[in-house]
Amino acid sequence: MTESIVILDFGSQYTQLISRRIRELGVYSRIIPFQTPAEAIKDMGAKGIILSGSPYSVYQKGAPKPDEGVFSLGVPVLGICYGMQYITHSMGGVVQRSKQREYGRAEIELSCESPLFRNMCTDARHTVWMSHSDRIEKIPSGFSIIAASANSPVAAVQHMTKPIFGLQFHPEVSHTVEGMRILGNFIDVCAITQKWNLGEFIDASVKELQNTVGRDKVIGAISGGVDSTVASVLTQRAIGDRLKLLFIDNGLLREHESREVVAALKAMHLKVTRVDASEIFLRRLRGVTDPEKKRKIIGKTFIDVFEKHTSGKSFTWLLQGTLYPDVIESISHIGPSQTIKSHHNVGGLPARMRLKVLEPLRLLFKDEVRSIGGLLGVPGTILSRQPFPGPGLSIRILGDINRQRLDILKKADLIVRDEIEKSSLSGTLWQYFAVLLPVRTVGIMGDERTYEHVVAIRAVNSADAMTADWARLPYEVLDRLSSRIISEVVGVNRVVYDISSKPPSTIEWE
């Protein structure tokens, strides 16, 4: 059993980040529901327990509470923000309710004696990131204060005899300058010896896939994106040709994409069949302009096509490139969660297909999937591809979708990719693409009045697509994009640049 640090999820927006940071420090971490019984935590081989933050106040009705047994397992516990307030509250201290939030950078002074702050005593003050309303008024007996800031006289606590710690600030956020050192010190307290190593993860996954699948056959849908490709290569390594893959061309892919992706997958010796389903997708989308309807139609059609090409064949398993963030989202039901856009993936296969789901990447974050892809020999052209949404160009064609409008967008998009890749900006951008707007504007070409389409360019910087900032593209690049699109793409007489960030906008237009 891999030694790990478990994170009890009380619904903080930073929970995933804590897990990522622990893994970056070379230790396996997993996020589990806050109410997981202490016995189960022990059985998981947990060497440390982190209590996450939460949108709740400890006094609020319905505030999440862990199994009290977690404090007597003898395993070190670190409470972060709400986690620390919970420890204080449940052990007899006083948490003061406050409507006022302390949000942003703060300076703390810390006690050098704490093992949590080992090797941090060269500086008297440290910058940390605060994001809380309630604060600790009185610590429980048996605890001592190990850090203080002007606004939070109790910025960190430690039990005097047991390995229980609390931090009011967020060590996982990069604005906490020594945050990684603090988490690293907690790992030392946990005395973990086993390192989380992606090479070993591959070997273990291959064995697990072989045991799980046995002599069965596996089917998967592959898009050529990072997740489905890495999941396929890993599975193929385990079971060889018993993995069959379908590349469903929905007609909404970028210029040349279908051909290029299939060639790249075949070069990796994957058994992939290309299904040209553009006709049925475009037929069903005819006249549909509502973004949610488009997404639903595409999701349903995808399933129909997939089912048609697999039914009657003897597949037992369905391979999916599900990643850890998706798994976490479905185990934690705290905090605001609302469908902003219904994302399309292969998730909702009808029960009648009776396929069992195989998710070899379900424990990994995106950057870990990229690293594993590299170790498995997936080419850089695939690993560094910009994200491309399942519904494809349909959500970048505002209004009616037809072959003529698709053609315009594909040509404009190709120019955007070409110029940005030539300018060597592509490595720094999260996504860059063209959008076809549902309006026409007046222009003049030669001596003639024109009344034609408008193309918008979208380029964003982002770390995880949760937030994004519009990219400050150099004027010369914007200039080349505009001139080339207007002169080379028949039917376009105007180009605009999208200068909205997410939130409040989203990356895609629909």
Positions marked catalytic: 81, 170, 172
Q: According to the binding rule CB under 6 A, does residue 426 interact with ligand XMP?
A: no
Which residues inside 34-63 make contact with ligand XMP, applying CB under 6 A? none
Separation between Cα atoms, residue 229 and residue 196, nearest integer Å: 23
Q: According to the binding rule CB under 6 A, does residue 411 interact with ligand XMP?
A: no
Which residues inside 427-456 make contact with ligand XMP, applying CB under 6 A? 431
Smallest distance from the beta carbon of 182 to ligand XMP, in angstroms? 31
Select from 78-86, 412-420, 475-483, 501-509 the region that touches ligand XMP (CB under 6 A). 501-509
How many residues can be counted in the chain? Answer: 510
Q: According to the binding rule CB under 6 A, does residue 482 interact with ligand XMP?
A: no
* Lookup result for tokens 């890749």: 421
Task: Extract the tokens encoding 504.
Answer: 């409040």
Select from 57-65, 71-79, 337-345, 437-445 the region that touches ligand XMP (CB under 6 A). 337-345
Residue with Cβ nearer ligand XMP (165 or 302): 302
Smallest distance from the beta carbon of 278 to ligand XMP, in angstroms? 18
Q: According to the binding rule CB under 6 A, does residue 179 interact with ligand XMP?
A: no
Task: Extract the tokens encoding 405.
Answer: 């409008």
Smallest distance from the beta carbon of 508 to ligand XMP, in angstroms? 3
Select from 165-173, 342-350, 451-459, 478-486 the region that touches ligand XMP (CB under 6 A). 342-350
Task: Extract the tokens encoding 193.
Answer: 């010896």
170 contacts 131 by C-beta, under 8 angstroms:
yes
Per-residue buried b or exposed e for 143-180, using 16+ beta carbons within 10 Å of the residue's own CB: beebbbbeebebbbbbbeeebbbbbbbbbbbeebebbb
Q: According to the binding rule CB under 6 A, does residue 224 interact with ligand XMP?
A: no
Amino acid at residue number 343: H
Query: Which residue in the set 102, 249, 419, 508 belongs to the binding site for ligand XMP (CB under 6 A)?
Result: 508
Select from 130-138, 148-156, 300-308, 339-347 the region that touches ligand XMP (CB under 6 A). 339-347
Query: Which residue in the set 181, 344, 405, 410 belongs to the binding site for ligand XMP (CB under 6 A)?
Result: 344
Residue-by-residue DSSP string for 391-423: TGGGGGB-S---HHHHHHHHHHHHHHHHHHHHT
Select from 100-108, 248-256, 389-397, 451-459 the region that touches ligand XMP (CB under 6 A). 389-397
Binding mask 296-315 for ligand XMP (x = CB under 6 A): --------------------
6 contacts 51 by C-beta, under 8 angstroms:
no
Coil, helix or strand for 305?
Answer: helix
Smallest distance from the beta carbon of 288 to ligand XMP, in angstroms? 15
Smallest distance from the beta carbon of 157 to ligand XMP, in angstroms? 39
Q: According to the binding rule CB under 6 A, does residue 417 interact with ligand XMP?
A: no
Neighbours of 462 (CB within 10 A): 17
Query: Which residue in the set 297, 465, 470, 478 belongs to the binding site for ligand XMP (CB under 6 A)?
Result: 465
Residue with Cβ nearer ligand XMP (19 or 431): 431
Residues that contact ligand XMP, how many (by CB under 6 A): 14
Neighbours of 311 (CB within 10 A): 10
Angle at 119 between CA 117 and CA 124, to 5 degrees: 75
Residue with Cβ nearer ligand XMP (343 or 422): 343
Separation between Cα atoms, residue 510 and residue 501, nearest integer Å: 15
Q: Which residues contact 270 (CB under 8 A, 6 or more apart)?
A: 222, 232, 233, 236, 243, 245
Select from 125-133, 141-149, 383-391, 415-423 the region that touches ligand XMP (CB under 6 A). 383-391
Q: How far is CA 490 from CA 17, 407, 409, 454, 487, in A?
A: 46, 10, 11, 11, 7
Residue with Cβ nearer ligand XMP (52 or 322): 322
412 contacts 421 by C-beta, under 8 angstroms:
no
Q: According to the binding rule CB under 6 A, does residue 341 interact with ligand XMP?
A: yes
Closest CA to 116 of 46, 185, 32, 55: 185
Q: Is the peptide bond before 504 cis (omega within 30 degrees of 0)?
A: yes
Query: Which residue in the set 93, 163, 391, 392 belongs to the binding site for ligand XMP (CB under 6 A)?
Result: 391
Q: Which residues contact 61 (CB under 8 A, 6 or more apart)?
A: none
Smallest distance from the beta carbon of 311 to ligand XMP, in angstroms? 25
Smallest distance from the beta carbon of 86 to ligand XMP, in angstroms? 33
Q: According to the binding rule CB under 6 A, does residue 389 interact with ligand XMP?
A: yes
Q: According to the binding rule CB under 6 A, does residue 13 interact with ligand XMP?
A: no
Q: According to the binding rule CB under 6 A, does residue 229 interact with ligand XMP?
A: no
Give me the residues that bind ligand XMP (CB under 6 A), please. Answer: 341, 343-345, 387, 389-391, 431, 465, 502, 506-508
